[in-house]
Chain A
Amino acid sequence: DTGVSQDPRHKITKRGQNVTFRCDPISEHNRLYWYRQTLGQGPEFLTYFQNEAQLEKSRLLSDRFSAERPKGSFSTLEIQRTEQGDSAMYLCASSRTIDTMIDEQFFGPGTRLTVL
C-alpha cells in the first residue's frame, strides 16, 4: 500500500499526558499537512511542511503542539499536557507540487485521540 499511513489509529490518554502521532506520506510527496477534525465538522488546518521546512502554522496550534519532519519524509505531531478539548481526529495529508494551480492532497486514515 503506497498511500498515506498514520500511527496509531486510536489513542486514549489521560488529561495531562503527552502523546505523539506519526504520519508517513506517499513517498514522492514533498508536502505534508496536519489537520484536526472534530465530530460533525470538516478538517481544520494545523500546519504544513515542504520537505523538512515547516512553512505555516495555524493559530489553532497552541504552544502545547509541536510538529516535526526531520528528514523531509515522515512527520510527528506531539501534544503536551493534553486537555479534554484536544479529543479529535488528527488527519495527515501529503501532496506533490508539480502543478501550482492544483495541489491535490491525499489523506491518511487519521488518528483518533480521546483524552479522558
Chain B
Amino acid sequence: KNQVEQSPQSLIILEGKNCTLQCNYTVSPFSNLRWYKQDTGRGPVSLTIMTFSENTKSNGRYTATLDADTKQSSLHITASQLSDSASYICVVSRGNNDMRFGAGTRLTVKP
C-alpha cells in the first residue's frame, strides 16, 4: 500500500481559477514533505519543502500547508495559468535518501 495518497487523481479547471490538491500520508518517521511539479515527459521540479515545524510555505502562486498531527498536506494554486497544467507529486521523506512518492494529481488548466 502506498504510504502517500493524493487526491484527486485528476482535475480540470478554467484558467484564472484557484484549486487545492490534497496529500495524506502514513509515512513514519517524518523528516520533510515536498511538492513537485512534473510536466509531461520531464523530470519533477521542486515547488516547496516543509519540515515538521512548518505549517505553510509559499512559492509565488503556489502555497503548501502541512498538518503534521493529522498527516495531511495541501497545495493551493492561485489564479491558475495554462502553464500550470502538469502532474503535482507529493513526496514524504523519512530521512535523507528515503523518499516516498505519491502517484500525483494530474491538473489540466483550460482557457
Contact = CB atoms under 8 A, between A and B. Distances in A.
B103 A41 contact: yes
Contacts, number: 59
Interface size class on chain B is: 20 to 34
B49 interface: yes
Given A103-B93, A103-B96, A103-B97, A109 B32 contact: no
A107 interface: yes
A93 B89 CA distance: 15
Interface residues of A, number: 28
Interface string A74-112: 000000000000000101010001001111111111101
Contacts of B89: 42-43
Given A42-B102, A102-B32, A107 B97 contact: no
Interface of A: 4, 31, 33, 40-45, 48, 55-56, 89, 91, 93, 97, 100-110, 112
Interface of B: 4, 31-32, 34, 36, 41-46, 49, 51, 89, 91, 93, 96-99, 101-104, 106
5 contacts: A33-B97, A40-B103, A97-B96, A102-B32, A102-B49
